[in-house]
């Protein structure tokens, strides 16, 4: 199931903190859809270290969607996610 | 869809890389403040006094450029997703070259000692050209944020021109006739350094840092896109006029260009910050306001034909130092937190609680530093404008604000080191 997390109105480093907290609490089989106002480059290395895959989609000049899912769900975004 | 698969934490430089540049910077502001105190009665009476020449290079190279270089090495991978710009060893060599070069160059200018100036200039030129080359290589290999990439590229181009002109001016001072420039080229060197290198980089990163750290809407996009090109065009025209001997046009064209370009930037910055989503009392924003107000005052001072040293004080101490301090107070806590968080994730140390950003540099220190720096700017500006006896106190406050900044940075580094040790120790 998709969990949506909107961090687009938070100051750094809150977006990163909230995303990491949300991933820690993510139930098995679920994935996260993060709404952000910028592309979170610093997050990607951490996701790799934590065995997550991600896909970032620009929805506008200040609107990004970052779909994050555990590597054990496969290399492609889970079926039923907004990116499919 | 954005291609981010090649990005990793390995792109961001180690914590020590930007910090080396940052920790060196306050030393030069401290020396500059003390230098102004040693000859307060004539230190700011003319732009050509050895004290002014030495102080200018201590502040512009030792403080502002040092912080700008350190920030760029960190900001490019975070904002645009470039690869790591330089290795830690190369960055260390750059810090030594820039620090040593600035010290020798300033000493040479202060003592009117040609060989000292030459060695110092050679070290700075070598370091800055190597830095420019590495930044351009990293930008060329990146595909992120086109606007900021072009602003940074143009700023680096301005840095290269400034460095070449500086080297030729030092050659000219040492009686090297083949350098082909005379004293009047100082204006062009100054324009490329302040409006080009400092100004273009500021415009480039402000469009990203203001929305990122203050949740303000980006300053007018069309303006931020047009300004780098307009300013570069203006600087090229000025250089061309100086080259063909139309130096008389310089005092007319430059302030108008400054007014339109940087005045527009400063006003757009104010408008954007007033519309921020979470308005709260933030001392780091005070540095931006002081910087923007100083730009507007400098343009007015130039139009009113006030002493050139006044414009220099406003642009270097009021604008350049304020913007770099404001940026430091935001990015050093963020970097400290971010590197620790990355280590925590990598080592899966969920048992370790990290300090907040305030835990690295608190608002109280930033408030005090802002107050002291604002007072130093005001007293030095009054001293340069009215030749009033405020320069000694202004120099003292400049040295004091440098010491406070040093304390804040060292505290952040100490806190980082302590938590990093806990994270790397066995659970």
Tell whether the model's pLDDT for residue B265 goes beyond 50.
yes
CB A66 within 8 A of CB A55: yes
Give B266 or A83, the one with higher predicted confidence.
Answer: B266
Q: Is residue B420 part of a domain?
A: no
Q: Which domain holds residue B240?
A: 12-415
As a whole number, mean pLDDT of residues B7-20 equals 74
Pick from B306, B212, B223: nearest CA to B260: B223
Tell whether the model's pLDDT for residue B269 goes beyond 80.
yes
Tell whether the model's pLDDT for residue B369 goes beyond 90.
yes
Q: CB-CB: which of A11, A17, A41 is closest to B215?
A: A11
The most confident of B104-108, B114-118, B300-304, by mean pLDDT: B104-108
Q: Is residue A62 part of a domain?
A: yes
Tell whether the model's pLDDT for residue B55 goes beyond 70.
yes
Predicted local distance difference test score (pLDDT) of residue A74: 80
**B211 — phi, psi (to 5°)?**
-65, -35
Q: Which domain holds residue A26?
A: 2-73
Q: Is A54 on the interface with B (CB under 8 A)?
A: yes
Tell whether the model's pLDDT for residue B368 goes beyond 60.
yes
Give B188 or B69, the one with higher predicted confidence.
Answer: B69
Residues of chain A contacting B10 with CB distance shorter than 8 Å: 45
Q: Is residue A80 part of a domain?
A: no
Report the number of distinct structural domains present in chain A: 1
As a whole number, mean pLDDT of residues B213-228 equals 85
Tell whether the model's pLDDT for residue A25 goes beyond 50.
yes
Give B284 or B99, the one with higher predicted confidence.
Answer: B99
- What chain A residue is nearest to B331 in terms of C-alpha separation? A12
Give B361 or B45, the one with higher predicted confidence.
Answer: B361
Rounded to an integer, what distance in angstroms lies between the CA atom of residue B295 and that of residue B265? 9
Predicted local distance difference test score (pLDDT) of residue B4: 43
Sorted by sequence, the CB contacts under 8 Å of residue B123 that are 6+ apart come out as B97, B98, B100, B101, B104, B105
CB B41 within 8 A of CB B113: no
Q: CB-CB: which of B7, B337, B357 is closest to A44?
A: B7
Two structure tokens written together for B284: 């780091």
Q: Is residue A81 part of a domain?
A: no
Q: Is residue B2 part of a domain?
A: no
Residues of chain B contacting A13 with CB distance shorter than 8 Å: 334, 337-338, 341, 357
Two structure tokens written together for B171: 């050659």
Buried b (16+ CB within 10 A) or exposed e, B183-205: eebbbbbbbbbbbbbbbbbbbbb
Predicted local distance difference test score (pLDDT) of residue B377: 97
Cis omega (within 30 of 0) for bond into B302? no
Two structure tokens written together for B286: 């005070």
As a whole number, mean pLDDT of residues B243-248 equals 66
For residue A2, the distance in angstroms to the closest alpha carbon of chain B comes to 19
Predicted local distance difference test score (pLDDT) of residue B6: 38
> What interface predicted TM-score (ipTM) does this complex get?
0.77
Strands (E), B48-175: none
Phi/psi-derived region of residue B266, left when phi > 0, alpha when psi is between -120 and 50, beta in every other case:
alpha
Sorted by sequence, the CB contacts under 8 Å of residue B132 that are 6+ apart come out as B156, B159, B160, B163
Residues of chain B contacting A38 with CB distance shorter than 8 Å: 208, 211-212
* B residues 16-75 lying closer than 8 A (beta carbon) to A: none
Q: Is residue B238 part of a domain?
A: yes
Predicted local distance difference test score (pLDDT) of residue A53: 93
pLDDT in tens, B286-312: 999 999 999 999 988 988 888 889 999
Q: Is residue A41 part of a domain?
A: yes
As a whole number, mean pLDDT of residues B60-76 equals 93
Q: Is residue B359 part of a domain?
A: yes
Q: Is residue A78 part of a domain?
A: no
Q: Given an 8 Å threshold on Cβ–Cβ distance, is B78 in contact with A41? A: yes
Residues of chain B contacting A37 with CB distance shorter than 8 Å: 211
* CATH number for position A38: 3.30.110.40
Mean pLDDT of chain A: 86
As a whole number, mean pLDDT of residues B166-176 equals 81
Pick from B312, B321, B324, B265: nearest CA to B68: B324
Three-state SS letters, B232-289: HHHHHHHHHHHHCCCHHHHHHHHHHHHHHHHHHHHHHHHHHHHCCCCCCCCHHHHHHH
Predicted local distance difference test score (pLDDT) of residue B120: 96
CB B59 within 8 A of CB B321: yes
Residues of chain B contacting A54 with CB distance shorter than 8 Å: 4
Structure confidence at residue B5 as a pLDDT band (50, 70, 90): very low
Buried b (16+ CB within 10 A) or exposed e, B238-261: bbebbeeeebeebeeebbebbbeb
CB B100 within 8 A of CB B110: no
Tell whether the model's pLDDT for residue B81 goes beyond 80.
no
Rounded to an integer, what distance in angstroms lies between the CA atom of residue B409 and that of residue B415? 10
Structure confidence at residue A81 as a pLDDT band (50, 70, 90): low
Helix (H, G, I), strand (E, B) or coil at A1: coil
Q: Given an 8 Å threshold on Cβ–Cβ distance, is B213 in contact with A12? A: yes
Rounded percentage of chain B residues whose pLDDT exceeds 90: 50
CA-to-CA dists, residue A56 to A20, A38, A60, B12, angstroms:
16, 10, 12, 19
Structure confidence at residue B246 as a pLDDT band (50, 70, 90): low
Structure confidence at residue B2 as a pLDDT band (50, 70, 90): very low
**A31 — phi, psi (to 5°)?**
-140, 165
pLDDT in tens, B327-361: 999 999 999 998 999 888 888 888 888 888 888 99
DSSP code per residue over B144-194: S-HHHHHHHHHHHHHHHHHHHHHHHHHHHHTT-GGG---TTHHHHHHHIII
Q: Is B355 on the interface with A (CB under 8 A)?
A: no
Pick from A48, A10, A46, A35: nearest CA to B338: A46
Give B251 or B381, the one with higher predicted confidence.
Answer: B381
Mean pLDDT of chain B: 87
Tell whether the model's pLDDT for residue B3 goes beyond 50.
no
Predicted local distance difference test score (pLDDT) of residue B9: 46
As a whole number, mean pLDDT of residues A42-50 equals 86
Q: Is residue A51 part of a domain?
A: yes
* CATH number for position B373: 1.20.210.10
CA gyration radius for chain A?
Answer: 12
Two structure tokens written together for B277: 């989503």
Report the number of distinct structural domains present in chain B: 1
Q: Is B252 on the interface with A (CB under 8 A)?
A: no
């Amino acid at each position: 199931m998709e969990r949506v997390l909107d961090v687009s109105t938070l100051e750094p480093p809150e977006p990163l903190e909230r995303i990491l907290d949300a991933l820690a609490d993510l139930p098995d089989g679920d994935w996260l859809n993060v709404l952000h106002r910028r592309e979170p480059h610093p997050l990607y290395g951490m996701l790799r270290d934590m065995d997550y895959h991600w896909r970032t989609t620009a929805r506008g000049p200040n609107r990004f969607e970052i779909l994050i899912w555990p590597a054990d769900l496969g290399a492609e975004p889970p079926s039923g996610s907004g990116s499919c | 869809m954005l291609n981010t698969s090649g990005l990793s934490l390995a792109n961001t430089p180690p914590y020590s890389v930007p910090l080396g540049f940052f920790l060196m910077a306050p030393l030069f502001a401290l020396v500059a403040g003390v230098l102004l105190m040693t000859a307060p009665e004539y230190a700011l009476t003319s732009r050509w006094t050895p004290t002014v020449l030495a102080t200018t290079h201590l502040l512009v190279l030792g403080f502002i450029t040092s912080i700008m270089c350190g920030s760029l090495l960190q900001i490019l991978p975070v904002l645009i997703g470039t690869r790591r710009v330089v290795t830690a060893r190369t960055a260390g060599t750059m810090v030594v070259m820039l620090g040593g070069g600035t010290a020798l160059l300033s000493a040479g200018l202060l003592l009117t000692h040609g060989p000292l100036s030459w060695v110092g200039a050679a070290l700075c030129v070598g370091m800055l050209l190597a830095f420019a080359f590495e930044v351009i290589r990293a930008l060329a290999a990146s595909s992120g944020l086109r606007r900021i990439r072009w602003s940074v590229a143009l700023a680096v181009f301005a840095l290269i021109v400034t460095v070449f002109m500086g080297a030729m001016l030092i050659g000219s001072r040492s009686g090297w006739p083949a350098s082909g420039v005379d004293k009047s080229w100082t204006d062009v060197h100054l324009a490329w350094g302040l409006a080009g290198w400092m100004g273009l980089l500021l415009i480039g990163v402000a469009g990203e840092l203001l929305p990122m750290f203050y949740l303000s809407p980006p300053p007018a996009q069309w303006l931020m896109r047009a300004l780098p090109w307009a300013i570069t065009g203006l600087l090229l025209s000025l250089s061309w006029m100086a080259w063909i001997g139309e130096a008389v046009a310089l005092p007319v064209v430059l302030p108008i260009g400054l007014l339109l370009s940087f005045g527009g930037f400063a006003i757009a910055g104010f408008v954007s910050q007033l519309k921020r989503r979470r308005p709260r009392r933030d001392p780091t924003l005070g540095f931006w306001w002081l910087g923007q107000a100083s730009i507007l005052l400098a343009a007015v001072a130039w139009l009113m034909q006030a002493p050139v040293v006044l414009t220099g004080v406003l642009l270097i101490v009021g604008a350049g130092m304020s913007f770099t301090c404001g940026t430091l107070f935001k990015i050093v806590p963020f970097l400290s937190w971010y590197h620790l968080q990355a280590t925590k994730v990598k080592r899966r140390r969920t048992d370790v609680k990290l300090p907040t950003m305030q835990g690295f540099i608190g608002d109280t220190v930033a408030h005090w530093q802002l107050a002291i720096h604002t007072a130093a700017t005001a007293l030095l500006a009054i001293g340069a404008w009215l030749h009033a006896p405020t320069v000694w106190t202004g120099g003292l406050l400049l040295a004091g604000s440098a010491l406070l900044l040093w304390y804040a940075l060292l505290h952040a580094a100490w806190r980082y080191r302590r938590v990093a040790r806990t994270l790397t120790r066995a659970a």
